Chain A
Amino acid sequence: GAGVSQTPSNKVTEKGKYVELRCDPISGHTALYWYRQSLGQGPEFLIYFQGTGAADDSGLPNDRFFAVRPEGSVSTLKIQRTERGDSAMYLCASSLRQDAEAFFGQGTRLTVV
């Protein structure tokens, strides 16, 4: 597929558990973004990678959230000790360069019960 791929599409987890959400960007895209979207709201920025490094993680809500992109391609968003308030759609986007248009995946719907 040519688009941004996110897995899983849905994840249900129990409060307190650890989860990992995966994003496969479009091949060759150097910039990668994670967003979170609650019901009825627009997506909120979490973190931005340029290559392997996190250039801006100012949107991560607290230290339970962490993201990596070790080889500059696939990225994983990790959430420790999940809380019910973490339930949301997690969206990933990539762009060819920092100043190019960003293309989004279909998201991972996370539900913490």
Chain B
Amino acid sequence: DAKTTQPTSMDCAEGRAANLPCNHSTISGNEYVYWYRQIHSQGPQYIIHGLKNNETNEMASLIITEDRKSSTLILPHATLRDTAVYYCIVRGFSSGGSNYKLTFGKGTLLTVNP
């Protein structure tokens, strides 16, 4: 799977949008971008994933650049409970392949401040 690069930490004011960047310049055509987050002492929580089009769900939006080499996770109105480590993961599915597993890096610690 392609590697990802994320900032180590970010801060955001409560009520504002949090924009978390991720670089994945070696992503290949059949690889998806997944986002998970982990609140302290809990298991990782699935947020969203996408291939090429932008995606939105009740938690967040995912914007993927046209060349797919980077993406941004957007939390539209951050709350204190969104403070967590956010992981950007590239995951591929090829026929007969073994790349179903999620490979986590160190992620971005997002701190939402009151």
Contact = CB atoms under 8 A, between A and B. Distances in A.
A55 interface: yes
Interface string B33-58: 01000000011111001000000000
Contacts, number: 50
A23 to B, nearest CB: 11
A107 B100 contact: no
Give the interface SS of chain B, mostly helix, strand, loop or mixed: loop
B80 interface: no
Contact-residue size bin, chain B (C-beta under 8 Å from the other chain): 10 to 19
Interface stretch (A14-22, A62-70, A72-80, A95-103): A95-103
A45 B43 contact: no
Interface of A: 4, 31, 33, 35, 40-45, 48, 55-56, 59, 91, 93, 98-99, 101-107
